[in-house]
A and B are shown apart, each in its own frame.
Chain A
Amino acid sequence: MYKVAVIQFPGSNREYELVHDTFSSVGMHAELFRWNRKDTDTLRSFDAYALPGGFSYQDRVRAGVVAAKDKLMKILAEEAEKGKPILGICNGCQILAEAGLVPQIYDNEVSMGLAPNAGKQNGQTVRTGFISDWYNMKSTARKGRSFANYLVEEGEIFPVPIAHAEGRFRMSDEVLREMEVNGQIIFTYCDQEGNVSEEYPVNPNGSTKSIAGVSNKRGNVVAIMPHPEAANQLFQIPLDISEAKQEAWGNYDKMEGPGPTRRIFESVRAYLEEMK
């Protein structure tokens, strides 16, 4: 069974669902790994890594930047060199960006940032601050480009919750061009029909090109701002946006069963299978 290390920094708060529910739902084993543990050999023995959501170091100075400087991140960088998958969700995405592990256009130089939310309409900023709500994202990379969309068809749409205040992907035009050419933009915000728009509320935070998730060039490091682990089971989806959940009324097993983002986690395992 593949083993995933879920890194726990002081202030991480979405680690337990990853440890107990998400990876086990697709037949993988996940364990908590506290940031200050000395047994780095154990850390290196894992097959994959997950950086969970939360407020590591209470987002001090800037979200993710203090955790990014931790020596544990150097070890993760080395393991990533070997091709192991690293998934950063929300705060994990911010940490990966501040550590330069993603998009890796110029090695591990920091070339991307998750700026404070600024949802826009007609050029005006209409929404700032922390947003916790459901949006849609779709896969905008060819199937198999990264471990997160390994089994996901391009164009597939997922309802997902977001819960962040600093989720606005920003990078220089040059870096953006590189990422587009390389197909590194894995997920993009869209409406229910899959239309991409940079206007709020389709794009909740003013993210460049409505980017929701990116990978490094190799496709083994993925940083995504929404929370696919909170849409992994049917009961988690709001009733009013899910016909499947309405139809599952009275069916506990269906409710506990797969949600729309299950395939993203199945992709992680499929990727590991391939890499073997």
Chain B
Amino acid sequence: MITLYRKLKIPDPEAVTARNTLKDYSLRRLDKMEEFSIDADDDVLKSAVSYLYNPNEHFYLVNTGNGTRGNEKAFDVNYDARIRVETEEDPMTITVLNVLRGRYGHGSKIRNVRRKVVWGVVFQEGETDIYGKADEMARTLFANPVFQRYEVSV
């Protein structure tokens, strides 16, 4: 089981739009990245990772049991809060599983792939209600209450 983080090399346009939509919160910073949890046999993990990121487009970071590798610097940011959002029956993960199992031939060696969109937030200096505000942003924008789950960590 490993975790793969990936984010765009260029400023993420979704994060830019989201920050604009949240202008009442006066966020100092809002980033977006994706977190993939890959449950697979060790010998196919590398193949799965290479399918999921394109060095032309993404920075990546892989977190195995024994440490990390990748573009560490790109992910080295101190956020006030992180909001993780997962979509039920995410078709992207369904497609990834089909490709890794079928086209790549890994079959049952790939047990599961889950994806979460992670929003990293930095509030204005002196913001006291970090958890409350992050939760509110998650509820009103980042996650649809019917088919998406979210969790806030500060």
Q: Chain B 66-100, CB within 8 Å of chain A: the 1/0 string?
A: 00000000000000000000011111001100000
Q: Let me know if B14 is at the binding interface, CB within 8 A.
A: yes
Partner of A112, one of B18, B94, B146: B146
B129 smallest CB distance to A (angstroms): 21
Check if B105 is an interface residue, CB within 8 A of chain A.
no
Interface size on B, residues (CB 8 A): 20
Q: A54-62, A82-90, A138-146: which lies at the B interface? A: A54-62
Nearest-neighbour CB distance to chain A for B46, whole angstroms, equals 26
- How many Å lie between the Cα of A163 and that of B82 in the bound state? 34
Q: A116-B90, A118-B94, A129-B91 are in contact. Are A66 and B147 (CB under 8 A)?
A: no
Query: Which residues from B are CB-within-8-Å of A98?
Result: 144
Known: A113-B147, A170-B146. A118 touches B141 (CB 8 A): no
If the complex has contacts A60-B18, A61-B14, A61-B17, are A111 and B145 also in contact, measured as CB distance less than 8 A? yes
CB distance from A10 to the nearest CB of B (A): 10
CB distance from B13 to the nearest CB of A (A): 7
Contacts of B18 in A (CB 8 A): 60-61, 66
Which of B21, B88, B91, B141 touches A128 (beta carbons < 8 Å)? B91
Determine whether the beta carbon of A115 is less than 8 Å from that of B88. Answer: yes
Is there an interface contact between B94 and A113, defined as CB atoms closer than 8 Å? no
Q: Does B123 contact A (CB under 8 A)?
A: no
Residue numbers in A under 8 Å from B95 (CB-CB): 128-129
| B-contacting residues, A148-165, CB 8 Å | none
B contact residues around A125 at 8 Å (CB): 89, 91, 94
- Dominant SS at the A interface? mixed
Interface presence of A34 (CB below 8 A): no
A43-60, CB < 8 A from B:
57-58, 60
Whether A66 touches B94, Cβ cut-off 8 Å, given contacts A110-B145, A125-B89, is no
B142 touches A113 (CB 8 A): no
**In the complex the two chains form, what is the Cα distance from A110 to B89 in whole Å?**
20
Asked if B144 contacts A113 (CB within 8 A), the reply is yes
**A166-186 contact mask (Cβ, 8 Å, vs B): 1 or 0:** 000011100000000000000
Residues of B within 8 Å of A111, CB to CB, are 145-146
Whole-angstrom CA separation of A125 from B92 in the bound complex: 12
Closest Cβ of chain A: how far from B21's Cβ, in Å?
A: 5
Q: Is A136 engaged at the interface, CB distance under 8 Å to the other chain? A: no
Flag whether A5 is at the interface (Cβ < 8 A): no
Q: Decide if B17 touches A57 in the complex (CB within 8 Å).
A: yes
Contact of A69 among B21, B89, B148 (CB under 8 A): B21
Chain B residues whose CB sits within 8 angstroms of the CB of A66 once the complex forms: 17-18, 21
- What are 25 A-B interface contacts by the 8 Å CB criterion? A60-B13, A60-B17, A61-B14, A61-B17, A61-B21, A61-B142, A62-B144, A62-B148, A65-B144, A69-B140, A113-B145, A113-B146, A113-B148, A115-B89, A115-B147, A116-B87, A116-B89, A117-B91, A118-B94, A125-B89, A125-B94, A128-B91, A128-B94, A129-B95, A171-B146
Which A residues lie at the B interface, using CB under 8 A?
57-58, 60-62, 65-66, 69, 98, 110-113, 115-118, 125, 128-129, 170-172
In the A-B complex, the 6 residue pairs with the smallest Cβ-Cβ separation, listed nearest first, are A128-B91, A113-B146, A113-B144, A115-B147, A60-B17, A60-B14
